[in-house]
Structure 1
Amino acid sequence: MTALTTRGALASEWIKLRTVRSTYLTLLLAAATAVLVGTLDAASAADAWDSWTPERRATFDPVRYGFSGGFYLAVLAVGTLGVLSASTEYGTGLIRTTFTATPRRRQVFTAKVLTTGLLALACGQLLSFTTYFLGQAQLAARHLDVPLGAPGVLRAVLQTGLFFAVLALTGLALGFIVRRPAGAVALLFGLFFVLPPLLGTISDRAARWTLQTAFESMTATVTTPNHAPSATALPTCALHLTVLLGTAALLVRRRDV
């Protein structure tokens, strides 16, 4: 009976996710900003290469350069998708129907985590590989491109796609905790964009354990003094998800609807 209700919860959450217009809008925004801006950034780097100083050329990362500007907005869009997949039902009151149909709230929560996380992971990998190949095509004209088999390249591309799932699940957790889309999105924005510089004014070591710093390390193939050690990136993501999803799961079980 438990296995049947679990499969039913997964099917229900997947139907909700793929039939809501906001899913397609946020994924379209993520694709547009990630692929288009990443490709244009690579093209601009190739065009401006002759005017760059030797110091700037030495720190140029042909992989991460395409994963900078546009991808910051893309991961925030996917994080917003996570927020909406959790908080929208609270706003409309449909969460009561969901918990009536599946009284085991843990199953509902787990189903949302799996469907949202797997969708974000699949889309993230598609966008990261597409951006990588299009960006390298732009850099190839100046012989600045690097193959997928070069040291650190495949890792950076895969981890860029993985970070989409991390932000989506972060948004999902905040959506369950706050239960209001606007408040959860604002908190997500602050966690990713505002917290790192604030912690940086206190301690550089503390700032290394933020999601933005983790993202920068995960997408890098060239080591620079400004990047935190890549060894802390995945533990940082795991720590954030453990705390946020754990808190969200506890609140889902103990709160009244």
Structure 2
Amino acid sequence: MTAPTTRGALAGEWVKLRSVRATPLTAVVALAAALFIGLIDYGSAADNWDVWTAVQRERFDPVRYGFSGGFYVAVLAIGTLGTLAASSEYTTGQIRSTLAAVPRRGQVLAAKALVVGGVSALLGQLLAFLTFLLGRRALAGKHLAVSLGDPGVARAVVGCGVFLSVFALLGLALGFLVRHTAGAVAVLFGLFFLSPMLLAPLGDGATRFGLQSVFEGLGSTVASAGGTDRLGAAGCLATLAGYLAVALTLAALSLTRRDA
């Protein structure tokens, strides 16, 4: 009995995610922003390399550079997609039908998390690798390109893709907690951009655990100035896991203890 119900829940969540109008739009926005703006950023670096100072050249990260402006838009777009997967059901009232079809509320959350996580993981890795490959081509003229076999490069590219999928799941959790799309998206964006400010009162070094800092740490292959304002790759992944565990736990409690 359990297996068919699980398969049915997953199939239902997949159909619902595809039917949300914003799903293809956010995917297109993420793809266009990451690739187009990323390519512009890389081209700008290649064009200005000759006039950069020695310090600027030393701090230049040929991987991280492309995962900045345009990729931030992609991160926020995919996070919004995760939020909509939950909040849109509360907006339309469909959540009552969902819970009637799948009375085990934990199973609803698990099915949504698996579908949203799977889709965002595939999309995240696609965006990360395409951004890197386009950037590598743009930097080749100045002999600045690196390969996936160079130290830390593959880890940084994969790490940026992983962050996208985790951020989508954080959005999903907030969708269940806030139950209103605009409010959930506002909280998600605030966590990304304002978490360093919120963590600052906890003491020196606490800002390294902010989501934006974690994202920058995952995509970096060159040590930051001073070497202490970012976590290492293992620390970034552990921090992301902590964020996700707390968010999904709170979402599960909200879903099981509050009325639809």
The TM-score range, normalised by the shorter chain, is over 0.9
Partner of 2:141: 141
| Aligned residue among 241, 251, 254 for 2:254 | 251
Letter in 2 for 1:249: A
Measured in 2, the distance between the counterparts of 1:74 and 1:229 equals 23
CA drift at 1:105: 1.0
Measured in 2, the distance between the counterparts of 1:19 and 1:204 equals 46
Closer, same or farther in 2 for the Cα pair 1:201/1:60, shift >3 Å?
farther
8 Å CA contact 2:218–2:232 kept in 1: the answer is no
CA drift at 1:77: 0.8
Partner of 1:125: 125
Measured in 2, the distance between the counterparts of 1:204 and 1:139 equals 36
CA drift at 1:201: 6.1
Partner of 2:112: 112
Measured in 1, the distance between the counterparts of 2:84 and 2:124 equals 18
Letter in 2 for 1:17: L
| Aligned residue among 218, 242, 246 for 2:245 | 242
Partner of 1:42: 42
Letter in 1 for 2:42: A
Letter in 2 for 1:60: F
| Aligned residue among 233, 237, 241 for 2:236 | 233
CA drift at 1:6: 0.6
Measured in 1, the distance between the counterparts of 2:200 and 2:145 equals 33
CA drift at 1:205: 1.5
Measured in 1, the distance between the counterparts of 2:234 and 2:23 equals 33
Indicate the SS of the match to 1:208: helix
Report runs of 4+ in structure 1 exceeding 4 Å deviation: none
CA drift at 1:231: 2.9
Q: Over residues 50-90 of structure 1, what are the superposed CA-to-partner deviations in whole Å (9 max), with x where a residue is unaligned?
A: 11000010010001100111111111111100110001000
Q: TM-score, normalised by structure 1?
A: 0.97
Measured in 2, the distance between the counterparts of 1:162 and 1:229 equals 15
Gaps of 5+ in 2: none
Measured in 1, the distance between the counterparts of 2:67 and 2:108 equals 34
Q: Over residues 82-111 of structure 1, what are the superposed CA-to-partner deviations in whole Å (9 max), with x where a residue is unaligned?
A: 110001000111100111111111111100
Closer, same or farther in 2 for the Cα pair 1:127/1:255, shift >3 Å?
same
Letter in 1 for 2:141: A
Measured in 2, the distance between the counterparts of 1:67 and 1:209 equals 19
CA drift at 1:229: 2.9
Measured in 1, the distance between the counterparts of 2:202 and 2:242 equals 20
Measured in 2, the distance between the counterparts of 1:63 and 1:102 equals 44
Measured in 2, the distance between the counterparts of 1:11 and 1:210 equals 35
Q: Where do residues 19-168 of structure 1 align in structure 2 (5 Å cutoff)?
A: 19-168=19-168
Letter in 1 for 2:169: L
Indicate the SS of the match to 1:207: helix
CA drift at 1:136: 0.5
Indicate the SS of the match to 1:126: helix
Indicate the SS of the match to 1:145: coil
Indicate the SS of the match to 1:9: helix
Measured in 1, the distance between the counterparts of 2:203 and 2:72 equals 23
Measured in 2, the distance between the counterparts of 1:96 and 1:181 equals 17
Measured in 2, the distance between the counterparts of 1:80 and 1:138 equals 30
8 Å CA contact 2:195–2:211 kept in 1: the answer is no
CA drift at 1:211: 1.3
Partner of 2:208: 208
Measured in 2, the distance between the counterparts of 1:82 and 1:125 equals 16
Measured in 2, the distance between the counterparts of 1:206 and 1:191 equals 14
- Across the aligned residues of Structure 1 and Structure 2, the Cα RMSD in angstroms comes to 1.1
CA drift at 1:202: 5.4
Gaps of 5+ in 1: none
Measured in 1, the distance between the counterparts of 2:36 and 2:189 equals 22
Measured in 1, the distance between the counterparts of 2:108 and 2:230 equals 38
Q: Over residues 128-164 of structure 1, what are the superposed CA-to-partner deviations in whole Å (9 max), with x where a residue is unaligned?
A: 0001000000000000000110000000011111111
Indicate the SS of the match to 2:249: helix
